[in-house]
Amino acid sequence: MYPRDEIIPLIRAGRALLNLSQDELATKVGVSRSVIARLERNEASVSLDSIDRVRLGLERAGVRFMKDASGKLIAVGFDD
């Protein structure tokens, strides 16, 4: 599991990269739109399980979470 402060902005960027609405992403990963909205606002009430579910869904759709040399998440892009 990635640190919350690193993964949350990249989840939003991944959704934008795929050109998905919050509704579309929610349907794709099996959570409610309100979970996506709360997650993108970095509300503490979003469970780590939901965050991981969204991350995995983005990865299955071809989004790659990239790290710097120290292992910190820094960007998203598409799989080659």
pLDDT in tens, 24-62: 999 999 999 999 999 999 998 999 999 999 999 999 999
3-state secondary structure at position 29: helix
Mean pLDDT value across the chain: 93
Report the candidate in 54, 44, 46, 51 with the shortest Cα–Cα distance to residue 15: 54
pTM as predicted: 0.90
pLDDT of 80 higher than 90: no
Full residue range of the structural domain in which residue 35 is found: 4-78
pLDDT at 9 (0 to 100): 94
Rounded to whole angstroms, how far apart are CA atoms 76 and 50?
A: 19
pLDDT at 28 (0 to 100): 94
Helix and strand tally (H, E) in the chain?
A: 4, 2
- The number of domains in the chain is 1
CATH code of the domain covering residue 21: 1.10.260.40
